[in-house]
A and B are shown apart, each in its own frame.
Chain A
Amino acid sequence: MNRATLNLWVGIFVLLGFAAFLMLAFKVGNLNLGGGGGTYEVIAHFDNIGQLKERAPVRSAGVLVGRVRSVSFDMKHYNAEVHMAIDAHYHFPMDSSASVLTSGILGEQYVGLDAGGDDKMLKNGDEIKLAQGAMVLERLIGQFLFNKAQDSSNEKSSTGKGAQ
């Protein structure tokens, strides 16, 4: 094998390999260089996070703005502490609210951010004060039954009053 052809083939091979890697990075992995790799971290405490996992999306108005970095149990407040990495080019006011939501009925869970009206913006390490946890089906049903029962007993007592 001629040395020049050999080098040419290896060159083609290396270029193809890099092209494949770039395709995986941009077309598949959705790497955006514009972000400069920069994220900032915000914290939120939730009563209940449901099925929220690490690397779950953080969305605002449906747009992916960041990912959950870690989920842990906060021993001081007895609730869940969630760290989120938000893309550096998205800014949110200090009084934004976070809630654990579900995409579709049985889909994955994510953190939804709703922007507030404050002038000051969230910075790295800030906490989102307004945080609403996940809906838990059992509690919802329990609450529903409880409300039903209360309603019917209220009706009974009110009809009883009316009879007196």
Chain B
Amino acid sequence: MKGGIVRGLQSIGDGALKIVERIGAVVLFLGQILMHSGAILRRFPLVIREMYFAGVQSLIIILVSGLFVGMVLGLQGFETLQSYGSSESVGVLVALSLMRELGPVVSALLFASRAGSAMTAEIGLMKATEQLSAMEMMAVNPLARVVAPRFWAGVLSLPLLAALFGAMGIMGGFFVTVVMLGVDSGAFWSQMQAAVDFHHDVVNGMIKSLVFGVAVSAIATYEGYEAPPTAEGVSGATTRTVVSSSLAILALDLLLTAFMMKGWN
């Protein structure tokens, strides 16, 4: 009994240490990426190429999800606000939820599972088939040639995707509430504009998605680069990318939200 408790505590301690260790490893890896990003402008065609895979190929899922999330927000908000007789404020509700939380967070979660996992699998497979070793032997650092362009493509793509997600969501909300449920379109926009602040809501949302982009891209490239060079190794790394990225996004969101609310003083 006593031994069981001790073992349980030990495993909790081990788990916590492992998490801290992994966070540290990812941060160190991020530092290495930044160190090897010096020539990124010379390699910008590579970044563009990776933006195609990370950004353009995520467009459909982001746009469709954004539209649906906005529509649901509109419906739910309308239902609730109508009982208080202020259904015109539904635009405020849709816009604020999308700008502050749902836009950055949901688009980052989708990005992690759509583009992040692909990044991990690609780099992991390149490692397993000795392509990274081959590159090293050709005196080209894989961190600069393979990892850094993917990292920067992710960092640049996610804020753009988040903006598109937000815009689509607002259009979805507009469609459901104004076109279908008959909320006055003027009130929808004017109340939204009066309540949404450019700096506090729009810019902060973009800052969030930029931070998420850094986190997801760093985790995805790290997991790929450090993946054991076997089939199971790569598939395990892909799973870990999605799980760790999602947790990182939610934890960072909490931190950033708290910081932004305090930081406004």
Contacts and interface: CB of A to CB of B under 8 A. Distances in A.
A30 B198 contact: yes
Contacts of B59: 13, 16
B194 interface: yes
A17 B163 contact: yes
A28 B55 contact: no
A147 to B, nearest CB: 33
Size class of the A contact interface (CB-based, 8 Å): 20 to 34
Interface string A1-43: 1010011011011101111110111011111000000000000
A57 B194 CA distance: 9
B95 interface: yes
A70 interface: yes
A25 B264 contact: no
Nearest to B193: A30
A29 B206 contact: no
Given A30-B196, A70-B265, A25 B202 contact: yes
Interface residues of B, number: 33
Contacts, number: 87
A6 B164 contact: no
A13 B170 contact: no
Contacts of A30: 193-194, 196, 198
23 contacts: A3-B45, A9-B56, A13-B51, A17-B160, A17-B164, A20-B163, A21-B163, A21-B202, A24-B99, A24-B166, A24-B202, A25-B198, A27-B189, A28-B166, A28-B196, A29-B99, A29-B196, A29-B198, A29-B202, A30-B198, A54-B265, A55-B264, A57-B194
Interface of A: 1, 3, 6-7, 9-10, 12-14, 16-21, 23-25, 27-31, 54-55, 57, 64, 67, 70
